[in-house]
Structure 1
Amino acid sequence: MKILLVHQNMPGQYRELLDWLIQQGTHELVFLTQRRNYPEVPGVNKVVYRSHHTPAKDAYGLSRVWEEAAGMGYGAALAAQELKARGFVPDVILGHTGWGELLFMKHVYPDSPILGFFEYFYLAKGGPVGFDPEDPASSTTPFLMQARNTVPFTNLNVVDQGLAPTKWQRDCFPEAFRDKLYVCHDGIRTDKLKPNPDVTLNLGRVGQVSRKDEIFTYVARNMERTRGFHVFMRALPHILKARPNARVLVVGGNDTSYGKKSDQPGGFRAEMEAEVGHLIDWDRTHFLGQVPYGDFQKIIQISRCHIYLTMPFVLSWSLLESMAMEATVVASDVAPVREAITHGETGLLADFFQPQDLAAKVVSVLEDPAKFAHLGRAARKHVIETYDFLSVCLPQHIAQINALVPEDKRIAI
C-alpha cells in the first residue's frame, strides 16, 4: 500500500504505527513534516514542507489561528503537488488535523481517502478553561476558543474517517462530530515497557541510585499550570519533610505547551520557586530537564511513586507508559485520568486543588511501597488489556484503514 503520513512533528502519534509499517517491508511510505532535524529512517521518504504564510505579530486574534493553519495547509498541499508530479498517489492519507496540514489535501488527491487524527476540541467552558480559579478565563476566551475550532470544523468535511485517542477527548467534540470519530489510542508498547528491578541511574554528584533508594518522580513535557506543576511544587515541601531520605526527580522543559505563558523571567518554574523554594530541600530535588526516552524509562522504573498531574485535558503518553512499567501512580482526580486509572485499583487519585492531599498519598506510598505494589501490577494489566499497541490498538487502526481502501490494497495483520 502507498501511504502518506502527515504530521508537522514527525512521527508524532504515528510513532508505533510507522515502525510497524516499516517492519512489514511491503509499503511505500512517505512522511510529510516540518521537522527537518528528524533523522532519516530507512523505508520512509521524509518530505519537509514549509508553511506558505505566517501571520504577522499584530494579526487579528480571532482569525490568527485560521490564518496560520491556512498557511500550513497550503504549504503542505504544495509539497503534495510535487509528490504527485513525481508519480506518488497514496492509497490512503493519515494525518493530524490540529495544525491545518490536511485542509487542502483533497484538492491534490481527490480520490485518496483521509483518516484524520482529532486530538482536541477547544471548549469555551470546560477542559482547562475556567478549571483553576488561579487562572480565570478572560471575557474574550469563548470567542478565541470558537475561532480556534474553525480548523477541526473544516477538517470534519475534509476527512473520510476520524479518530480520537480516548473517549474523553472524543466527547469534547460536538455531538455532530462523534459518529465520524472512532476511539482508539495510539498504542503503548507494553512488550518493551516493563518494570526492571535491577535498574540503576547516575545522578551525577549524587552517584548511582537504584530501586533501593527512596525515589519519587514527576514528569511533564513542560512545567506548566495545565500539567499541575504548581500543585506538585506546593506538595513537594510536605513530602520531603515527611520523608527525609527521599529524592525527587523532575522531568520536563521550562517552556509552555498548553495555556498561557508565565510573565516571569525564568518561566513558571521560576514563579513557583519564588513561592515555595525556601521550603524545599534542594539537595534532594533534581530537575533533569527533557531527557532521552531511554532515560525516561529508567527514571520511571526506579521510581517508588510517580506523580501525574493534569487539568481536564489531553491524556499524556507518559501516564500510560508509566503504568505499563508497573509504576505506583498518584494522579489528579479529573475525568480524562479516571478513564485510565480507577482509584485504589490501578493507582491513587488526589484532589487537584489540594496539594496536601497529593502529598499525603505520595508519603503513604513512600512509607510502605509493598502495601501499594499491587496497584502497579494492576495498572500494567489494565494497559495491556486496553492500550497495548500490538494486540489492541494496531488491529483497530488497521481495520479502519482497510475499510477506506479497495480489498486488493488492504493491509494484512
Structure 2
Amino acid sequence: MKILFLHPNFPAQFRHLAVALAQDKQNQVVFGTTRKEGQLAGVYKAVYSPSREVRRETHHYVRTLEGAVLQGQAVYRMAEQLKAQGFIPDVVYGHSGWGPTLFIKDVFPKSQLLCYFEWFYRARGSDADFDPREPLTPDDVARIRIKNSPILVDLYSCDRGLSPTNWQRQQFPPEYQSKITVLHDGIDTAFFQPKPGAKLVLSAINLDLSHAEEIVTYVARGMEPYRGFPQFMEAIALLQQRRPHCHVVVVGEDRVAYGRALPDAKTYKQLMLEKLPLDLSRLHFTGLLPYNQYLKVLQASSVHIYLTRPFVLSWSMLEAMATGCLLVASDTPPVTEVVRDGVNGLLVNFFSPQEICDRTEEALDNPEKMSPIRAKARETILENYALSKLLTKHLHWINLSTNRHESL
C-alpha cells in the first residue's frame, strides 16, 4: 500500500501509525509536513511551505480559511511533485482543519481520503461559551461559524473520518457523523507505567525534589484558561497555605496554545504570579520536557491536576492515568467520558479553586484510600486506550480503504 500522511506538524497524531506501516516493506509511506525537524525510520518526509503568511488586512472572520487555503495550495504543489516522481497514494490520511487535505481529491481523485477530525467549532454548548465571564459578541459567533469552512469541505470530500473521543465526534453536524469512527490515538502503556517510590530528580534543569513527600503536578502545552491554569494557580495558593511541605511542578510553555491571549501581551503565568501570594521555592516551572523526564514527573506525582473546558481531550490526562497518577480532574466533557468520580479519579468543579484544593488535600491525606483509584486509573487506560490494542484497530481501519482485509 502507498499512503500519504498530511499534518503541518511532524509526526503529531500519526507517529505510531506511520512507523507501523513503514515496518511492512510492501508499504510506501510518505509524510507531508511543514516541519523540517525530525525523522521516522522508513518514512519519506516531503516538506511543503505555504507561499506566504495570512495577510493582516484579511477580514478576521476568514483568516483561518485563508491560512487553510494557503496550506492546501502548498500541499497541492507538493503532491504534483510526488505524482511526477511516480508516487500515487492508495490512501491519504490528514488532519482536518489546518488545510492540507483541502485539494487532495483534485490532485489524487482515485485515492481514498481519510481525515482526522479533532474538533468542530461551536459558539454554543461547548468551549466557546463555557465561561460566563467571557460572553460572546456577535463577531465571535460569526467568526466561529466561518472557522469551520475548511473542516466542512473535508467532511464533504473525505471517504471516511476519525475522531479520538465520542465527545469530539458529537461536536460535528449530525448529518456527517455517520462518516466518522471513534478511535483514540492510543497511549503507550509500556512506557507510561507506575514506578512505586519514584523520586523526582531532573538534573538537566537542576530540579531535585528527592526530599519532597508531597508533589502536585500539572501538565499542559500552554498556561491558559482553556486548561484551567488560572483556577489551578488559585488552588495552589490555597494549598500552599495549608501544606507547608507540598511542592508543585508545572510542565508546559508560558504561552497560550488554545484560546485568547491577554490584551496587554502579559502571559497568564505572569498575571497569576503577580496576583497571588505564592511560595516560589515550592513552585517549579519546568518548561517543555523530553518524554523520559516528563515520565519522571508523572511517576513521582502524589496528585496530578487536569482541568479543561469542554474541548479536545489532552493526551496528558490519559498518560497520567496510565502512569497510575491520582487524578484530580474537572467535571467536564470529555473528561467524564473517561473518569468516574471516586472510581478512577476525583472530579471537581472547573471554576472552584477551593474545591480543587480541597480534593487535592483529600488525596494527599489518604494515600492508602486512594491506592485503588490509582490502580483503576491505569486499568481504565489498559482496557480502553492502550496503544497495543488500538494500533491494530487503526491499521485495520486504514486497510479497509484498499480492500485488503488481511492484517498488516
Instruction: Tell me the TM-score normalized by structure 1.
Output: 0.95
- Give a deviation string over 1:322-377, Cα, whole Å, max 9, x none: 10001000001102100010111010000011110000000111122222111111
1:238: which partner in 2? 238
The 1-side partners of 2:207 and 2:96 are apart by 45
* Aligned residue identity for 1:172: Q
1:212 to 1:368, Cα distance in 2 relative to 1, 3 A:
farther
Q: Which stretch shifts more, 298-307 or 204-213?
A: 204-213
Would the aligned equivalents of 1:54 and 1:67 in 2 still touch at CA under 8 Å?
Answer: no
Would the aligned equivalents of 1:201 and 1:298 in 2 still touch at CA under 8 Å?
Answer: yes
Would the aligned equivalents of 1:211 and 1:302 in 2 still touch at CA under 8 Å?
Answer: no
Aligned-residue offset at 1:211: 8.8
Which residues of 2 match residues 162-177 of structure 1 at below 5 A?
162-177=161-176
The 2-side partners of 1:207 and 1:289 are apart by 12
2:220: which partner in 1? 220
Which residues of 2 match residues 57-136 of structure 1 at below 5 A?
57-136=56-135
Instruction: Tell me the TM-score normalized by structure 2.
Output: 0.96
Aligned-residue offset at 1:272: 1.6
* Aligned residue identity for 2:182: V
* Aligned residue identity for 1:296: Y
Q: Which stretch shifts more, 16-25 or 246-255?
A: 16-25
The 2-side partners of 1:3 and 1:179 are apart by 24
The 2-side partners of 1:161 and 1:351 are apart by 36
Aligned-residue offset at 1:63: 1.9
1:68 to 1:23, Cα distance in 2 relative to 1, 3 A:
same
Structure 2: gaps spanning 5 or more residues: none
Aligned-residue offset at 1:243: 1.4
* Aligned residue identity for 1:96: H
The 2-side partners of 1:40 and 1:189 are apart by 19
1:286 to 1:207, Cα distance in 2 relative to 1, 3 A:
closer
* Aligned residue identity for 2:402: V
2:355: which partner in 1? 357
Q: Which stretch shifts more, 190-199 or 151-160?
A: 190-199
Q: Secondary structure of 2:138's match?
A: coil
1:402: which partner in 2? 399
The 2-side partners of 1:306 and 1:331 are apart by 8
* Aligned residue identity for 2:30: V
1:203 to 1:405, Cα distance in 2 relative to 1, 3 A:
closer
1:197 to 1:24, Cα distance in 2 relative to 1, 3 A:
farther
Aligned-residue offset at 1:207: 5.7
Would the aligned equivalents of 2:212 and 2:246 in 1 still touch at CA under 8 Å?
Answer: no
- Give a deviation string over 1:177-196, Cα, whole Å, max 9, x none: 10000000011111221001
Q: Secondary structure of 1:50's match?
A: coil
Which residues of 2 match residues 3-402 of structure 1 at below 5 A?
3-37=3-37, 39-202=38-201, 208-210=208-210, 213-276=213-276, 279-391=277-389, 393-402=390-399
Would the aligned equivalents of 1:198 and 1:210 in 2 still touch at CA under 8 Å?
Answer: no
Would the aligned equivalents of 1:198 and 1:211 in 2 still touch at CA under 8 Å?
Answer: no
Aligned-residue offset at 1:53: 4.0
Q: Secondary structure of 2:220's match?
A: strand
Would the aligned equivalents of 1:211 and 1:304 in 2 still touch at CA under 8 Å?
Answer: no
Aligned-residue offset at 1:25: 4.2
1:211 to 1:187, Cα distance in 2 relative to 1, 3 A:
farther
The 2-side partners of 1:44 and 1:200 are apart by 37
Q: Does 1:412 find its partner at 2:407?
A: yes
The 2-side partners of 1:83 and 1:203 are apart by 44
* Aligned residue identity for 2:36: R
- Give a deviation string over 1:293-337, Cα, whole Å, max 9, x none: 111111000001000010110000000011000100000110210
- Give a deviation string over 1:103-148, Cα, whole Å, max 9, x none: 0011111111011000100001122212112322222111001100
Q: Which stretch shifts more, 148-157 or 260-269?
A: 260-269
* Aligned residue identity for 1:307: I
The 2-side partners of 1:112 and 1:275 are apart by 55
The 2-side partners of 1:211 and 1:339 are apart by 36
> CA RMSD of the aligned region, Å?
1.6
Would the aligned equivalents of 1:253 and 1:290 in 2 still touch at CA under 8 Å?
Answer: yes
Aligned-residue offset at 1:398: 2.0
The 1-side partners of 2:59 and 2:266 are apart by 28
The 1-side partners of 2:26 and 2:217 are apart by 42
